Amino acid sequence: MAIPSKVFCVILITLAVAGVMSEAGSIAVYWGQNGNEGSLADACATGNYKFVLVAFLPTFGNGQTPMINLAGHCDPYSNGCTGLSADVKSCQRRGVKVLLSIGGGAGSYYLTSSQDAKQVAGYLWNNFLGGSAASRPLGDAVLDGIDFDIEGGTNQHWNELARYLKSYGQVYLSAAPQCPYPDAWIGGALDTGLFDYVWVQFYNNPPCQYSSGDTSNLANAWEQWISIPTKEVFLGLPAAPEAAGSGYIPPDDLISKVLPIVKSSSKYGGIMLWSKYYDDLTGYSSKVKNHV
């Protein structure tokens, strides 16, 4: 049976809109490692970010007392970070997902066993997510999930930590692997398919990043990363040349040369910026957000 012309036009328009929407990405940003970057609420109020990753919880596992480190923003040793509860809630009212990032480039963290992973998951659930603890480091706000920024320790038991966290229910999981595929630390855990978002660090790794107009290394690594079982993959970038040793992509190059490559994937989620402090210096997110 022939489709009426008006109906056919509506179908074409619907498909075109759906295609545009499927390419639309968002921006994630790390916040918490520079006291001069403004408040968490301020970060969300810019309207530039869909995800804010509170960094870091760099001490946990192996029987250690977990401890957050938010640079100059607050003093966790005096229970001085509970005031961030209002900021978290402000972000969430704006539709921004707030995740706690565990690990980081410097810290004391690793998991010694499945039981250790279970205990850490319980701590995270009760102190930052939907559980309850007598004294929660960030107050009574319920964060949306946990980000795995694992860059040291060992590569053992992260898959089990992910499974234990997901067993609690609605907990978003993200990860920030290095761009050489597969990542040496968290690569095995990503095979579980439990991670909702993966922001791959396409910086400080010259063999797989963009360089002076050459997109080939980045494109090859990107093709490998979109093969993993996750909902969305983000292109992780430094927000300023000073933010990383290498891998900075000028906004014009990102828009004209790199995004056309990565946005062709159905798993493309957007970009991740390190970090809010450097984004403040350059306005990177404001320059590219309408193109991401």
Q: Residues with catalytic annotation? A: 151
Cβ neighbours around 245 below 10 Å, total: 12
- Under 8 Å CB-to-CB from 215, ≥6 apart: which residues? 257, 258, 261
Cβ neighbours around 59 below 10 Å, total: 17
**Strand, coil or helix: what is 250?**
coil
Ordered DSSP codes for 8-75: HHHHHHHHHHHHHHHH--EEEEEESS-TTS--HHHHHHTS--SEEEEEEE-EESTTPPPB---GGG--
Q: Which residues on neighbouring strands pair with residue 237, listed in sequence order? A: 273
Ordered DSSP codes for 92-109: HHTT-EEEEEEEESS-EE
